[in-house]
């Protein structure tokens, strides 16, 4: 649900792995084209009903528009991040009373929410995918309250090209949110000094990335100290 960069990349990886994909967005199925033989367009409600695992990738500010009823009983992979300048201020997040995933889970009370694929920019998500057992395989953190749901997401991410580090419950998912060491930068490394500030985002999205193995993800998420919730969309947030 949502056909932006992250969900579109996950769809490409899924199709390449031989999985069937149903994509939707707020503009309607007619806005989605050239999906390939294993993918089709649908409305959000149709995508929710069709999916065994449903990826939600929309701006956090629109989370209440996620259709809860057709997602009842489903595993929902939450890729949402909080950017106050885009999403507006959410008092419970600003006060660290909830994580973004707990907010989504509260809205989707009858679904099983798993936080995943939220800490890597879309270009790296695609370029760093590797077959199981590859020596340069990367890992990503996941969090969730339902062990069986997490196990299914681990299986999916393995198929898509990633190892997984379980960082705990949805209450622990802040460990991979914007501003933490495992968010973004770990997967592209240091920006070269000869890259100007106005070219930084272009460099980030165009270079192939740096593999981040499971042990490194485990270290980064275990040692992080919780700060203020919310990230920034400006370039200084990425360097």
Residue 123: which pLDDT band, with cuts at 50, 70 and 90? confident
pLDDT at 156 over 70: yes
176's tokens = 């991979």
Residue 1: which pLDDT band, with cuts at 50, 70 and 90? confident
pLDDT at 162 over 90: yes
Do residues 53 and 153 touch, judged by C-beta distance below 8 A? yes
pLDDT score, position 4: 66
* Residue range 31-39: mean pLDDT, rounded: 67
Mean residue pLDDT of the chain comes to: 90
Q: What is the largest CA-CA distance in the chain?
A: 51
pLDDT score, position 197: 86
pLDDT score, position 6: 86
pLDDT score, position 205: 84
Question: pLDDT tens for residues 72-85?
Answer: 999 999 999 999 99
Residue 139: which pLDDT band, with cuts at 50, 70 and 90? very high
pLDDT score, position 33: 61
pLDDT score, position 26: 66
pLDDT at 25 over 80: no
Query: Is residue 152 classed as helix, strand or coil in its secondary structure?
Result: helix
Residue 47: which pLDDT band, with cuts at 50, 70 and 90? confident
pLDDT score, position 113: 98
- For the entire predicted model, the pTM comes to 0.91
Residue 239: which pLDDT band, with cuts at 50, 70 and 90? low
Question: pLDDT tens for residues 166-216?
Answer: 999 999 999 999 999 999 999 988 889 999 988 988 888 888 899 999 999
Q: Which residues on adjacent β-strands are paired with residue 78?
A: 56, 115
pLDDT score, position 35: 63
Instruction: Point out the least confidently predicted range of 19-28, 139-148, 156-165.
Output: 19-28
Q: Which residues on adjacent β-strands are paired with residue 166?
A: 142
Q: Which residues on adjacent β-strands are paired with residue 216?
A: none
pLDDT score, position 234: 66
Which candidate, 226, 233, 236, 234, places its Cα nearest to that of 99? 226
Nearest-angstrom CA–CA distance, 25 and 233: 22
């Amino acid at each position: 649900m949502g056909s932006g960069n992250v969900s579109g990349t996950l769809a490409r990886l899924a199709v390449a792995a031989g999985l069937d994909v149903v994509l939707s967005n707020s503009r309607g199925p007619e806005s989605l084209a050239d999906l390939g033989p294993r993918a089709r367009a649908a409305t959000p409600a149709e995508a929710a009903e069709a999916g065994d695992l449903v990826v939600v990738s929309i701006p956090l500010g629109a989370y209440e528009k996620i259709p809860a009823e057709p997602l009842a009983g489903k595993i929902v992979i939450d890729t949402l991040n909080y950017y106050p300048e885009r999403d507006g201020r959410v008092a419970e997040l600003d006060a660290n009373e909830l994580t973004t995933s707990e907010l989504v889970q509260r809205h989707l009370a009858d679904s099983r929410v798993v936080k995943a694929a939220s800490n890597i920019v879309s270009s790296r998500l695609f370029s760093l995918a590797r077959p199981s057992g590859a020596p340069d395989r990367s890992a990503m953190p996941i969090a969730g309250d339902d062990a069986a749901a997490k196990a299914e997401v681990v299986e999916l991410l393995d198929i898509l090209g990633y190892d997984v580090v379980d960082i705990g419950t949805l209450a622990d998912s802040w460990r991979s949110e914007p501003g933490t060491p495992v968010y973004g930068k770990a997967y592209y490394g240091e920006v070269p000094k000869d890259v100007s500030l106005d070219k930084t985002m272009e460099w980030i999205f165009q270079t192939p990335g740096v593999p981040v193995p499971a042990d490194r993800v485990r270290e980064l998420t275990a040692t992080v100290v919780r700060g203020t919730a919310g990230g920034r969309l400006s370039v200084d947030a990425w360097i």
